[in-house]
Structure 1
């Protein structure tokens, strides 16, 4: 394959002209690098390299102006806006930025296309005056201000232009306009040695500049194929056909030149792949099948440049050399989310920093390293102490004195100004720079340097233009400048696979092309309307519309195919993607206009999805597991452990054998189990002084008065010292108080009805040894019973539940279901376990009852365990815990423990639905 650049160089060398004296102007710097490489391959003796520049550099050279970026232009425009706008009508910089970027874009287009600004702005004012919504003769202030804005546009433009030219600066359009004004003088002195290569869509300024240079003996070579040039309806040649027809130069000079390579033999594969990651994996697989020689003439072009990072992570091992012409965006660095999070924190005004923001900053790898892992300890402290909101001083106190300067820069106790934010960023960047090693952390240092440039640039702009008053604006321009920064990859630019974006392919040719994301909305990009100038006005003044923008994409797409022999065109078939997976019109056009020598195949690729059987898991009991079970048995099985096994043996294995517990996290809203703990602990504090004593109405009424205070104390111990005065936590705090007060009221009613209540035990730890002859090791059960009391001489074993429990949930009819049906019988199992532990250790001749007091069902009072039996055709409930009942229960209990400890029975997962039981 002979590339376009190589063809031109051969032609110039054959004309016996000293090529070293030429100056080549190309669409991009990348094409310039390839020109030097091709020239080195063609010459057989040492020569001086010709000068190679881009069209932007050429325009700067002619205009003698320095290019400024969009952000700088915006600041300059605001200075103009402030000067020309009455103070009472002046918008702040943040509001100004919302519309000014569009205005800058329009100024740029007007200048690039050499439109008379006064004329187009007058048209624009007339259109707005016609279109405004006020139909009455007397215009409102809003309408007047609206029309004043449009009438002032020429003033904004002229003063901005005047200010920039006085500093020898300009945005791109202004530089092009200025270059077009000066080109005639420049061309007469310099044009003969200039060669323009590989251009397609030229704005009016570029057309004027190049025509003036051509009139003074410069040369231009176009890269277009005859197939498209002869087709008057094909957008790939839209612009070049116009130049051929309209430029005076071509009335007397021949067109150079049209190739005839597009209709040569090509193998084109159109491949549909679901999702971006599917495209990336397919590309990786395709690259792995290419030889080293093939890779040296292969271009991987990303239609969607966001695929860069996943593509880099999927490059196969056979690729020894890779040249990446796209920069690595700053947003993918470890610092991106870190600085974004700091912006959120810096806007806090009340010195109450949300724990998630604190954790996000402290969990940054660089902060962890800078604090010698102290920040990880602080994160654990925040979680264990349930610290929802922290002050700056509180956070600083967790760190040593030498670490506090960095930590202080990360957090704030007042809302910072933009200048203060940039100073804090400067402190942080200096700390990180000292921390990073030049050899081990070279990439992070490079990212850090680019963020340093962003901070310095913003500081310069604030110093020169004191417009920043809000952090929202600062963040907006911090992002804007960061998006303009990227890390350039180092590599061998002409060896191996070339990875590039669509615009970087200008002027370049490859034998094998892999193009991704050939979908509507990406190739071409589709309609966008980032302009105050309406479509009709653009057509009137020959400004580019979406039609011309689509034609640019068409040219780039077909140019990739000119000289290529093997082409892979990938499109996303995922219907949930942003553009609905519609394949690009270019693919349909390619099929419709198929050349005789082209072999085009279409296919849909989908990943192989294996059938995964959802089988219930089984865990065998190894000797180590059996040893752990013996330890548990000796220490004592708790009712919760046993009911966990009944519910799902696999959960028992994870929690009690492996010791896996829930990760400690900050509890933002009081969880239901926390509510239960608070109520339990409050009642424990209230009732412990009554152990062995009868309850009195007076004492209970006193406890009611202290309920709010005690509940608050228990919340602080169990949950957090954070205020409980807002949101859901306030509601849950009130619920806890109401539960306790309602319970005390229930007790008071019992006493008022003449009942006698004596507290025997409160939150008492119980243990009982079980006799299971089949096991050759000791077995115990243990647990904490909430309350044991005597009600009119009847011993009651009480379990508190903050959830709703009904009487029928404490009744059993079949002992054999007690250890197999968790949903129905978990509560009877628990209360019978407490009864077993208590009565095995105490002698009691009277009646015994065991049951639940449900705080969500207090009107039912004490819900008693009952055994339902049939006698004489009638169903009879027996609530008295007799020795026979305990014996029957212990049979079931022993059977359950034997199953748990049986080495032949594995832990078998049960298929269960999530349970929402009471606590």
Structure 2
């Protein structure tokens, strides 16, 4: 079937001989390009082509105004707005509203709206009758409904709204006047300027004696300015208009796709340019397939499978360009490109790709955040890590970037000085350096240039991205010369501009598979049409962007509304299908957070309103519920080999607690050593609080240790405790965060809270220690507080090391205290010795640890005097602030003054536990208590 463009080319070839005086006008440049190719294919000999232009170019030739770029227009509008309204709003905050206001002004002019009337205060019916006699009764009714139903909330709100509304017309007129003086304008302003002065701009010759002939082709939803211009040329010049329509939607009033054609057929002038009846293309036989695919990611994958054979055949026939993939969701472009089969040689992308979806956007935004969150002259680690992990920096720096990320994690570097990156990599030195605010945009431009010009800068796509960001940053830099901005303002300005910008991909448009956006398909026809993401909210797209002009007023003044947009997108859908032979329509079957899982209304119309033959398929994965099977790891030779590490390495209380909690967790954590990745600890959580407290107590008592002799602690050692603690707390923070002594330390955020909590807890502990003096310290934060124990495994004896790091052991008057600091909610009571070995979530782990250390001490000092008591206990934050606090463990209600009588029973249970742990016949299996699994790091592996 011939395309619309080919039909126009054939008509031009047959009916127009003087191409030197012929101008052919299309809605866009893409259609013009295809028309030029179609015209060339129908010629036997070379000849000069007629003047082929888009409607924008055509209208622009009649005006002396040059269309300015959007940023320049918004800046001019901002200055006018400030002058008229005396506003003190910053440019970066005005940008969004200015963009919306510029869009409204553009529409006002394109639809030739009486601006003074629209912006007039319509607060009552009398003014409506007096000032708006030119409106129809229907238009007046729309306005009345709006002003009666709008809820202002209060008279102050109403007054504020009216003041803003009343200022818009002065802003509009002053803005247009300024642009006129500068000989520039926005699109709508130029269109209105030409439409209202068309008689002056077109050479004044006798109506039908002008040699130039005009052909307008493929128009649908005309603005009022375009309609007036087309009408004038139809009346005053040798002009023909070719409409691309179909009887399917034109002859049925309920089908919105034909809305505009039905209007124009009734037009006194344009109506004469239509044929008596529309042609019928949509009624002809087509192969239509509707494919439902769960999730957006599945559509490109299914598309690739479907196209693999088809495209190979098309490539062999050299007609791949007769196939188009239409993407209503432009964010799917990259996933579609990556999914296309390798057999495809040529691809032409004709659509814009959002700049916010490019790696350059995230990189530049990270650089803004890096400098916005720096503390003095140091960078916050989160943004340093984000940049080191960015694909552009990783590609250029190489594997060393991973080493530096690991160093930051392991050394808990919350704030990183620029000197850290000196002599590491030239690009990193440029990225991580302190920059004054006034030079920041120049710094960003240098980073973009460095990336774009590096040997591994990537392909043309990355260079195209770099070019656009270089241009945007340069423009913002120019703005800051006249509109000074703080760094956060510069970032907001950058985000506002990039938010609406797209990369216009360019390629060989007449060769290979075509990939297009919805609007790019205008006037073009393909044999094989593939549309992805045919969901409500994508095609048709969601309602238009915001506007200062309420809906009813828009209707009253015939400005575009959601109904206008729906009619336009419906036409684009059915027009694309008109001449196609094979049609594949994909949609997402799964709703997302925006609710765009609903099938497009156009698909519903196709399925239920037409009698077109079609095949409907739903891609799905069968739901397979897999029962979580129990996991048990047998102690084979390799597992037993891993257990042998505890022949020399200490089996600690926390390790045994893990085993009692869940054997499988012990296997994952301590034998396979599956760990969560290191994270930088910036917030002072409970664990950091505990670490700092333990360190402070260690530093305090280490300071009292004599060079030789007994480590005696006396009452006089507790003079100036406050000052000492201040010094030791800072030192503990420095060691935890790996800060050098030369660096000034300041507490910030939660660190200050933790500091005060640590100090308060330490003061309380030291106050009890002062009362307890004099005493001697035997062990302090001892890492080698261990003892060997022999167990039998089958026919051999194993020597296991038990113990670990003890917080403190001190002695006074034949009483040895085994102290364990607890900063959490640990209890100092337990039910029985046997209860310490139960596989029960309520088991007292802290008491188990204290009793184990008491047993280790007894084993290490087996020859001690029977009079020496071993008193285990917890110094816990939960109890120590009570008035009746007394050190020790409580077995039931009885305080253990000497653990020695309980140690034989403890040893019995301990040896039973160790025999089980090293017994080859007892597997590492899961706990039966699912409550334990709730916060387990390995629950995903267990499927619990």
Which TM-score band (shorter chain)? Answer: 0.7 to 0.9
Aligned equivalent of 1:445, options 437, 460, 463: 463
Is it true that 1:277 corresponds to 2:297 in the alignment?
A: yes
Aligned equivalent of 2:355, options 330, 346, 355: 330
For 1:837, the equivalent position in structure 2 comes to 856
The answer as to whether partners of 1:62 and 1:182 remain within 8 angstroms in 2 is no
**CA separation in 2, counterparts of 1:819 and 1:530?**
65
For 1:739, the equivalent position in structure 2 comes to 761
Aligned equivalent of 1:163, options 178, 195, 212: 178
**CA separation in 1, counterparts of 2:270 and 2:573?**
28
**CA separation in 1, counterparts of 2:434 and 2:210?**
59
The Cα offsets for residues 324-356 of structure 1, whole Å up to 9 and x where unpaired, read as 212333323322112112233444696264332
The answer as to whether partners of 1:406 and 1:431 remain within 8 angstroms in 2 is no
Give the C-alpha shift of residue 555 in structure 1: 0.9
Give the C-alpha shift of residue 150 in structure 1: 4.5
The Cα offsets for residues 789-819 of structure 1, whole Å up to 9 and x where unpaired, read as 33542333333322233344373236xx727
**CA separation in 1, counterparts of 2:8 and 2:832?**
96
For 2:242, the equivalent position in structure 1 comes to 221
The Cα offsets for residues 610-661 of structure 1, whole Å up to 9 and x where unpaired, read as 3333334444556555444324312332333333333333443344334444
The answer as to whether partners of 1:72 and 1:461 remain within 8 angstroms in 2 is no
Secondary structure of 2:778's aligned partner? strand
The answer as to whether partners of 1:227 and 1:263 remain within 8 angstroms in 2 is yes
> How do 1:387-426 and structure 2 match up within 5 A?
387-389=413-415, 395-400=417-422, 407=429, 411-412=433-434, 416-417=437-438, 420-426=439-445
**CA separation in 2, counterparts of 1:738 and 1:233?**
78
> How do 1:527-606 and structure 2 match up within 5 A?
527-528=543-544, 530-579=546-595, 581-595=597-611, 598-600=612-614, 604-606=618-620
**CA separation in 2, counterparts of 1:634 and 1:342?**
49
The answer as to whether partners of 1:220 and 1:256 remain within 8 angstroms in 2 is no
Secondary structure of 2:604's aligned partner? helix
**CA separation in 2, counterparts of 1:563 and 1:841?**
93
Give the C-alpha shift of residue 260 in structure 1: 0.8
Give the C-alpha shift of residue 667 in structure 1: 1.1
Secondary structure of 1:431's aligned partner? helix
Q: TM-score, normalised by structure 1?
A: 0.85
Structure 1 pair 109/285, CA: closer, same or farther in 2 (3 Å)? same
**CA separation in 2, counterparts of 1:175 and 1:314?**
43
The answer as to whether partners of 2:330 and 2:354 remain within 8 angstroms in 1 is no
Unaligned runs of 5+ in 1: 869-874
For 2:870, the equivalent position in structure 1 comes to 848
**CA separation in 1, counterparts of 2:534 and 2:226?**
30
The Cα offsets for residues 122-143 of structure 1, whole Å up to 9 and x where unpaired, read as 466968998999999xx99x98
For 2:817, the equivalent position in structure 1 comes to 796
The answer as to whether partners of 2:26 and 2:216 remain within 8 angstroms in 1 is yes
Give the C-alpha shift of residue 105 in structure 1: 1.7
Structure 1 pair 233/772, CA: closer, same or farther in 2 (3 Å)? closer
**CA separation in 1, counterparts of 2:474 and 2:152?**
47
The answer as to whether partners of 2:67 and 2:190 remain within 8 angstroms in 1 is yes
Is it true that 1:355 corresponds to 2:381 in the alignment?
A: yes
Structure 1 pair 625/724, CA: closer, same or farther in 2 (3 Å)? farther
The answer as to whether partners of 2:828 and 2:846 remain within 8 angstroms in 1 is no
Give the C-alpha shift of residue 757 in structure 1: 4.5
Secondary structure of 1:824's aligned partner? coil
The answer as to whether partners of 1:526 and 1:550 remain within 8 angstroms in 2 is no
Q: TM-score, normalised by structure 2?
A: 0.83
For 1:635, the equivalent position in structure 2 comes to 649
**CA separation in 2, counterparts of 1:749 and 1:421?**
60
Unaligned runs of 5+ in 2: 129-142, 315-319, 938-944
The answer as to whether partners of 1:450 and 1:485 remain within 8 angstroms in 2 is no
Structure 1 pair 398/724, CA: closer, same or farther in 2 (3 Å)? closer
Give the C-alpha shift of residue 64 in structure 1: 4.2
The Cα offsets for residues 870-901 of structure 1, whole Å up to 9 and x where unpaired, read as xxxxx999874448x55554454444444444
For 1:770, the equivalent position in structure 2 comes to 789
Structure 1 pair 810/36, CA: closer, same or farther in 2 (3 Å)? farther
The answer as to whether partners of 1:786 and 1:799 remain within 8 angstroms in 2 is yes
For 1:106, the equivalent position in structure 2 comes to 104
Give the C-alpha shift of residue 98 in structure 1: 4.6
**CA separation in 1, counterparts of 2:433 and 2:114?**
52
**CA separation in 1, counterparts of 2:687 and 2:68?**
61
The answer as to whether partners of 1:767 and 1:837 remain within 8 angstroms in 2 is yes
**CA separation in 1, counterparts of 2:489 and 2:757?**
44
The answer as to whether partners of 2:20 and 2:50 remain within 8 angstroms in 1 is yes
Aligned equivalent of 2:689, options 658, 675, 683: 675
The answer as to whether partners of 1:244 and 1:255 remain within 8 angstroms in 2 is no
The answer as to whether partners of 1:819 and 1:892 remain within 8 angstroms in 2 is no
**CA separation in 1, counterparts of 2:936 and 2:513?**
57
For 2:131, the equivalent position in structure 1 comes to none
Secondary structure of 1:514's aligned partner? strand
The answer as to whether partners of 1:805 and 1:857 remain within 8 angstroms in 2 is no
Give the C-alpha shift of residue 224 in structure 1: 0.5
**CA separation in 1, counterparts of 2:889 and 2:365?**
58
Give the C-alpha shift of residue 206 in structure 1: 0.9
Give the C-alpha shift of residue 160 in structure 1: 2.9
For 1:908, the equivalent position in structure 2 comes to 925
**CA separation in 2, counterparts of 1:246 and 1:472?**
53
Structure 1 pair 102/850, CA: closer, same or farther in 2 (3 Å)? closer
**CA separation in 2, counterparts of 1:180 and 1:21?**
22
Give the C-alpha shift of residue 246 in structure 1: 1.0
Range with bigger deviation, 553-562 or 321-330:
321-330
The answer as to whether partners of 1:724 and 1:733 remain within 8 angstroms in 2 is no
Structure 1 pair 405/521, CA: closer, same or farther in 2 (3 Å)? closer
The answer as to whether partners of 2:538 and 2:596 remain within 8 angstroms in 1 is no
Structure 1 pair 410/692, CA: closer, same or farther in 2 (3 Å)? closer
Give the C-alpha shift of residue 562 in structure 1: 1.5
The answer as to whether partners of 1:273 and 1:279 remain within 8 angstroms in 2 is yes
The answer as to whether partners of 1:646 and 1:822 remain within 8 angstroms in 2 is no
For 1:198, the equivalent position in structure 2 comes to 218
Give the C-alpha shift of residue 111 in structure 1: 1.4
**CA separation in 2, counterparts of 1:486 and 1:163?**
28
Aligned equivalent of 2:365, options 340, 353, 361: 340
Structure 1 pair 470/108, CA: closer, same or farther in 2 (3 Å)? farther
Structure 1 pair 282/124, CA: closer, same or farther in 2 (3 Å)? farther
**Alignment size in residue pairs:** 885
Give the C-alpha shift of residue 219 in structure 1: 1.8
> How do 1:151-550 and structure 2 match up within 5 A?
151-181=166-196, 183-184=198-199, 185-186=201-202, 192-215=212-235, 216-251=237-272, 255=275, 258-288=278-308, 290=310, 292-293=312-313, 297-317=322-342, 319-347=344-372, 351=376, 353-367=379-393, 379-389=405-415, 395-400=417-422, 407=429, 411-412=433-434, 416-417=437-438, 420-437=439-456, 440=458, 442-462=460-480, 466-483=482-499, 485-489=501-505, 492-528=508-544, 530-550=546-566
Give the C-alpha shift of residue 423 in structure 1: 1.5
Give the C-alpha shift of residue 221 in structure 1: 0.8
**CA separation in 1, counterparts of 2:162 and 2:847?**
80
Secondary structure of 1:862's aligned partner? coil
For 2:941, the equivalent position in structure 1 comes to none
The answer as to whether partners of 1:222 and 1:256 remain within 8 angstroms in 2 is no
**CA separation in 1, counterparts of 2:645 and 2:168?**
85
Structure 1 pair 200/254, CA: closer, same or farther in 2 (3 Å)? closer
For 1:8, the equivalent position in structure 2 comes to 8
**CA separation in 1, counterparts of 2:42 and 2:745?**
78
Structure 1 pair 193/823, CA: closer, same or farther in 2 (3 Å)? same
Give the C-alpha shift of residue 277 in structure 1: 2.7
The answer as to whether partners of 2:396 and 2:456 remain within 8 angstroms in 1 is no
Secondary structure of 1:224's aligned partner? coil
The answer as to whether partners of 1:682 and 1:710 remain within 8 angstroms in 2 is yes
The Cα offsets for residues 239-260 of structure 1, whole Å up to 9 and x where unpaired, read as 1222221142544x55387321
Structure 1 pair 436/648, CA: closer, same or farther in 2 (3 Å)? farther
